[in-house]
Amino acid sequence: MAKTLIITGGAGFIGSHVVRLFVNKYPDYHIVNLDALTYAGNLENLTDIEKAPNYTFVKADITNAAEITDVFSKYNPDGIIHLAAESHVDRSITDPNAFIITNVMGTANLLNAAIALWKNDFTGKRFYHVSTDEVYGSLGDTGLFLETTPYDPQSPYSASKAGSDHLVRAYGNTYKMPFVITNCSNNYGPNQFPEKLIPLFINNICNKKPLPVYGDGKYTRDWLYVIDHARAIDTVYHDGRNGETYNIGGFNEWQNIELIRLLCQTMDRKLNRAPGESEQLITYIRDRPGHDRRYAIDANKINKELGWKPSVTFEEGLDKTVDWYLANEKWLNDVTSGNYQHYYSSQYANR
Ligand code: NAD
Ligand code: DAU
């Protein structure tokens, strides 16, 4: 094999698309998917490639330093692409420590294991940290996040991701470890766990359940199809300059309520329901505490320097996403049984 890469969080939403892309595109790379299989990790996301000769799954927890050191010495990776994280803002509000432990300490454990393994010989080595635009805080009505925008995280989730970004840069500076960081906007697409806006609303529309819109619904997010994020990660891993940060986004801002209306119209069409039927499920509920008003990414650097741009429009991506959920009812039913029901009622009851 030309290279061994450890991809952390490869059983999750974005990670599974990154693993699939690398396994299929680089048959001469050994792709090791390191994942603890939390509620968000699901090997059903990867059944199509699980038997590929260049793919290995390892169940391991990034918060367990000894376990990570063992995996690193067993597989001797040339590169790490780090996606494993607690990723849902609402959960970070009810249980911040889980985010600090996984996102900050877990990242530190990976960095320490990489330093120990590579022992100052960094030839051909790279640590790629996958981060979020939320580290930059919240925008007003105008402006875009640049790579130089000062960090101003506002939730326990985004503060823990900011902490992990700082650690990666500090290790790069102190130990001269080659690294890249990307900060991406909101992803959507197949295999997203239905706690996030789009898959949660698709599931509720299917089941004719209320659509819980936080606050006035006029919060704005910048949406990117997950496969385009995976393509960007491939580009930056191979061609990005050491020590650099690249923002990733689709120049695709939507107010939540406008996006929800488009989703309702798309679902009514696909489910042969009367136009307007799903919109009647919209229910305004108490806002998320500390809710960031607007995110929007300036993705010019990755476009100009590395030639990456999104491959699908939002309407195409949303269409493909809805089709995927409608065709994968078993996947959706499996992940929404059991603990999901407890999560849902504690998150949404009495709001
Ligand atoms: P996800 O919650 O769907 O998946 C996270 C994965 O990490 C799961 O497979 C889970 O089992 C694994 N994991 C969690 N804790 C672990 C631990 N202690 N040890 C090993 N594995 C563990 O998340 P996602 O939405 O796919 O996000 C992936 C990464 O991308 C995260 O770092 C997130 O901050 C970042 N990101 C996400 C978005 C988005 O819109 N979803 C946007 C920008 C950046
Ligand atoms: O910007 C990148 C980030 O996007 C990632 O780093 C996070 O991992 C990812 O979860 C996402 O964070 P958001 O908080 O923006 O995503 P979420 O899907 O939770 O919410 C999107 C918007 O929809 C936000 O304004 C809150 C609102 N919302 C969300 C849910 C779950 C609702 O109105 N109702 C809901 O039930």
pLDDT tens digit string along 74-112? 999 999 999 999 999 999 999 999 999 999 999 999 999
Ligand 2 pocket, residue 87 CB under 6 Å = yes
Task: Cite the active site residues.
Answer: 133-134, 157
Task: For 29-52, write each residue's pLDDT tens digit.
Answer: 999 999 999 999 999 999 999 999
CA of 2 to the centre of ligand 2 (A): 38
Closest ligand (CA of 88): 2
Ligand 1 pocket, residue 153 CB under 6 Å = no
Ligand 2 pocket, residue 88 CB under 6 Å = yes
Which residue's CA is the closest to the ligand 1 atom numbered 35?
131
Q: What 8-state DSSP symbol labels residue 102?
A: I
State which ligand 2 atom lies nearest to the alpha carbon of 295: 1
Ligand 2 pocket, residue 284 CB under 6 Å = no
pLDDT of 351 over the 90 cut: no
Distance, C-alpha 213 to centroid of its chain? 21
Q: Which residues of 53-89 are buried (b: 16+ CB within 10 A; e: fewer)?
A: ebbbbbebbbbebebbeebbeebebbbbbbbbbbbbb
Confidence at 1, pLDDT banded by 50, 70, 90: confident
Task: For 165-218, write each residue's pLDDT tens digit.
Answer: 999 999 999 999 999 999 999 999 999 999 999 999 999 999 999 999 999 999
Task: For 142-153, write each residue's pLDDT tens digit.
Answer: 999 999 999 999
Closest ligand (CA of 109): 1
Q: Report d(CA 79, CA 124) in Å as an integer.
A: 8
Domains defined for the chain, CATH in brackets: 3-192+223-253+294-313 (3.40.50.720)
Q: Is 308 within 8 Å of 232 (Cβ atoms)?
A: yes
Q: Report d(CA 17, CA 8) in Å as an integer.
A: 12
pLDDT of 120 over the 90 cut: no
